[in-house]
């Protein structure tokens, strides 16, 4: 009897594994087709969209790849920025998406094709993670529909074709995984694996797009407070907060320098420049009606609000407002409504009150979270409503598909505005100056950058000649032959971490007034010099914290696995 039962159980497991494998293949093929559809203009025209920030991200991805090729595992210095004077951009900008391009570029010679493939993967993976997040909630069919909707949502496409925010495209990948981990923590009796999942996905989001990570942290914090107040439950708030904290720990090698080194750059530019003033970037503001980008935003958000309202009304007509189903529905709706509220002018007092909100620059960034909660809400409703699912599918899918197809079609019509020369992004560096990351020692950065020449090193005083033997993004070597005591200028902005070694001994670096460029003195004679960008004590400490957090997670995962195996063996 026991042997027969075991054989049946084993056969059932094999059958289920085969079913899951077939399901994964079918879903992956569907999402591959949708991802290809989303980037079709890029494939047809063999180019990238000439959108708001695309040149900026192309240049940064190129610099990151060059930094890795120069021997740095985690490049922090962007050598060719600011007309060759350099920038500590990668200390402040999340690196994950650029690692993807760098890895693809190892096997794909064309940089443009590497970027295109990376963009395709962002759409494909976002659909796959959304499918995984809602699979248990609403079944195979509805999950696939929600995943496809998540890929073709208007703001998702506008991020590519209008905004060109390459890193934010990958933020769509992590959001569903964070929500899935939170849902599993809420319902599991012993949520140890969901805790690990939340730590990994949250740190992935931080390392991909810090702004989205901050916004989702606010949403998670509000939900934890809600559970504490209304349900008086301790497990979910404890494990959720712990998962977020561990996620911060894993990403400390990036986060800690971001927090503590802001004082070394002109970071206030992101809130003081005219374009990035949040008070001028609310949607449904009469001052923005004539702008074409805002017109697309208004149309997209209006359609999403309409679809959301129709589905929500169907749901709440089905249930009494005080029943458990209705309360769960309200809980799904709340983050969507709150995210929409924060995009409108009436939320201005909140933006002024909450620390960090003005640094988000654009209130319509919250549309990303709107669309995340839009899909999870649809998934929840599909699982609970009794009326014809096909009607709901059509009601949801058709208007979104129409506006998405229009965006892609418009991108095809305006293909003459696409970038056609991307194989040498340094040529476009004059368009990729990020003023907020210029070091504070450059008190007149515009004048310094405009007057910068092609000379990498020069003699300011004395009689000497300089010969450069190597010039890598984070390391420069050469010789100085000084007939007299001389002062040498390096056409690179100073930033903490740059160190000078003359004849093998560390020597102090000086900073030129106003320009913020590095200088050093050499005595008479022939000297070998090495200038290298190293980790400061703060950055080394941050790396140690990340390693400790990662080891803790790995040890915890091993412990949970062994514990589960022992429990299963004893139960037999």
pLDDT band at 533 (very low <50, low <70, confident <90, very high): very high
- Which are the contacts of 263, defined by CB distance < 8 A and separation ≥ 6? 440
Note the pLDDT of residue 422: 55
Number of H-type helices and E-type strands within the chain: 21, 9
Task: Give the C-alpha separation, 558 to 443, whole Å.
Answer: 52
Note the pLDDT of residue 3: 46
Note the pLDDT of residue 492: 92
Question: What is the separation, in whole angstroms, between the first and last Cα of the chain?
Answer: 15
Instruction: Report all structural domains of the chain as residue ranges with CATH numbers, in order of start.
Output: 2-164+266-418 (no CATH), 166-265+537-572 (no CATH), 445-534 (2.60.40)
Note the pLDDT of residue 52: 80
Q: Which residues pair with 480 in a beta bridge?
A: 466, 527
How do residues 175-228 score in pLDDT, each as one tens digit? 999 999 998 888 877 888 899 999 999 999 999 999 999 999 998 888 888 888
Note the pLDDT of residue 166: 92
- Phi, psi of 438, deg, nearest 5: -75, 130
Contact 364, 385 (CB under 8 A): no
> Of 571 and 248, which is predicted with more confidence?
248
The strands making up 464-472's β-sheet, listed across from edge to edge, are: 464-472, 475-482, 525-533, 498-502, 505-507
Note the pLDDT of residue 418: 52
- Phi, psi of 258, deg, nearest 5: -60, -45
How do residues 98-148 score in pLDDT, each as one tens digit? 999 999 999 998 888 899 999 999 999 999 999 999 887 777 877 888 899
Of 361, 358, 360, 364, nearest to 342 by C-alpha is 364
Note the pLDDT of residue 135: 85
- Which are the contacts of 130, defined by CB distance < 8 A and separation ≥ 6? 146, 147, 150, 151, 176, 375
Note the pLDDT of residue 427: 56
Task: Give the C-alpha separation, 456 to 385, whole Å.
Answer: 67
Per-residue pLDDT for 388 more than 70? no
Note the pLDDT of residue 425: 57
Structure tokens at 534: 């190293």
DSSP state for residue 159 in the 8-state scheme: I
Task: Give the C-alpha separation, 500 to 173, whole Å.
Answer: 42
pLDDT band at 387 (very low <50, low <70, confident <90, very high): very low
Task: Give the C-alpha separation, 408 to 240, whole Å.
Answer: 39
Task: Give the C-alpha separation, 170 to 211, whole Å.
Answer: 12
Task: Give the C-alpha separation, 266 to 289, whole Å.
Answer: 32
pLDDT, average across residues 383-406: 64
Task: Give the C-alpha separation, 32 to 22, whole Å.
Answer: 15
pLDDT band at 531 (very low <50, low <70, confident <90, very high): very high
Give the up-direction half-sphere exposure of residue 197: CA atoms within 13 A in the CB hemisphere.
19
How do residues 456-484 score in pLDDT, each as one tens digit? 898 998 899 999 999 999 999 999 999 99
Percentage of the chain exceeding pLDDT 90: 42
Per-residue pLDDT for 421 more than 90? no
Q: What is the pTM of this model?
A: 0.89
SS3 130: helix
Alpha helix ranges (H) inside 108-209:
111-152, 154-158, 166-187, 192-206
Task: Give the C-alpha separation, 506 to 500, whole Å.
Answer: 6
> Of 276 and 95, which is predicted with more confidence?
95
Note the pLDDT of residue 510: 92
SS3 257: helix
**Range with lowest mean pLDDT among 16-30, 118-132, 207-221, 303-317:** 303-317
SS3 449: helix
Percentage of the chain exceeding pLDDT 70: 85
Contact 438, 85 (CB under 8 A): no
Q: Which residues pair with 506 in a beta bridge?
A: 501
User: 141-145, 286-290, 327-331, 351-355: which has the highest mean pLDDT?
Assistant: 351-355
Q: Over the chain, what is the mean pLDDT? A: 84
Note the pLDDT of residue 64: 92
């Amino acid at each position: 009897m026991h042997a027969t039962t075991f054989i049946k159980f084993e056969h059932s497991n094999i059958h289920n594994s085969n079913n899951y494998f077939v399901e994964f293949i079918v879903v992956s093929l569907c999402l591959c087709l949708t991802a290809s559809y989303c980037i079709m203009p890029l494939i047809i025209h063999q180019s990238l969209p000439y959108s708001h920030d695309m040149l900026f991200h192309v240049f940064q991805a190129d610099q990151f790849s060059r930094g890795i090729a120069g021997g740095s595992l985690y490049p922090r210095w962007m050598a060719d920025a600011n007309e060759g004077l350099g920038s500590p951009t990668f200390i402040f900008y999340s690196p994950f998406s650029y690692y993807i391009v760098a890895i693809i570029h190892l096997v794909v010679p064309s940089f443009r094709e590497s970027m295109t493939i990376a963009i395709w993967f962002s759409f494909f993976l976002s659909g796959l993670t959304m499918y995984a997040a809602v699979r248990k909630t609403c079944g195979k069919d509805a999950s696939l529909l929600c995943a496809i909707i998540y890929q073709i949502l208007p703001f998702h496409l506008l991020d590519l074709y209008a905004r060109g925010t390459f890193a934010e495209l990958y933020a769509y990948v992590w959001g569903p995984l964070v929500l899935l981990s939170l849902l599993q923590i809420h319902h599991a009796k012993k949520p140890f694996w969901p805790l690990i999942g939340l730590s990994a996905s949250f740190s992935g989001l931080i390392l991909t797009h810090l702004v989205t990570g901050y916004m989702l942290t606010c949403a998670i914090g509000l939900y934890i407070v809600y559970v504490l107040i209304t349900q008086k439950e301790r497990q979910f708030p404890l494990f959720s907060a712990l998962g977020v904290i561990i996620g911060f720990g894993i990403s400390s090698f990036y986060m800690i320098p971001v927090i503590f080194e802001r004082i070394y750059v002109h970071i206030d530019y992101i809130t003081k420049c005219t374009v990035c003033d949040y008070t001028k970037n609310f949607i449904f503001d009469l001052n923005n009606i004539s702008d074409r980008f805002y017109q697309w935003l208004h149309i997209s958000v209006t359609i999403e609000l309409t679809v959301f309202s129709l589905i929500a009304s169907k749901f709440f007509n089905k249930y009494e407002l005080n029943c458990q189903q209705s309360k769960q529905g309200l809980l799904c709706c709340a983050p969507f409504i709150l995210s929409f509220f924060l995009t409108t002018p009436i939320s201005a007092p909140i933006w002024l009150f909450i620390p960090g909100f003005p640094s988000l620059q654009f209130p319509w960034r919250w549309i990303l979270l709107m669309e995340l909660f839009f899909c999870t809400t649809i998934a929840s409703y599909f699982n609970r409503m009794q009326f014809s699912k096909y009607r709901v599918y059509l009601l949801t899918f058709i208007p979104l598909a129409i506006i998405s197809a229009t965006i892609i079609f418009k991108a095809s019509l305006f293909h003459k505005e696409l970038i056609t020369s991307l194989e040498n992004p340094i040529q476009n560096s004059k368009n990729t100056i990020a003023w907020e990351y210029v070091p504070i020692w450059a008190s007149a950065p515009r004048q310094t950058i405009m007057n910068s020449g092609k000379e990498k090193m020069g003699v300011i005083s004395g009689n000497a000649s300089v010969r450069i033997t190597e010039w890598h993004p984070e390391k420069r070597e050469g010789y100085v032959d000084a007939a007299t005591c001389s002062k040498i200028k390096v056409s690179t902005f100073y930033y903490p971490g740059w160190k000078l070694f003359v004849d093998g001994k560390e020597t102090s670096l000086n900073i030129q007034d106003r320009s913020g460029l590095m200088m050093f003195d050499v005595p008479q004679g022939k000297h070998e010099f090495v200038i290298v960008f190293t980790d400061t004590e703060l950055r080394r400490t941050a790396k140690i914290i990340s390693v400790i957090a990662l080891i803790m997670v790995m040890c915890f995962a091993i412990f949970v696995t062994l514990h589960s195996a022992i429990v299963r063996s004893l139960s037999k």
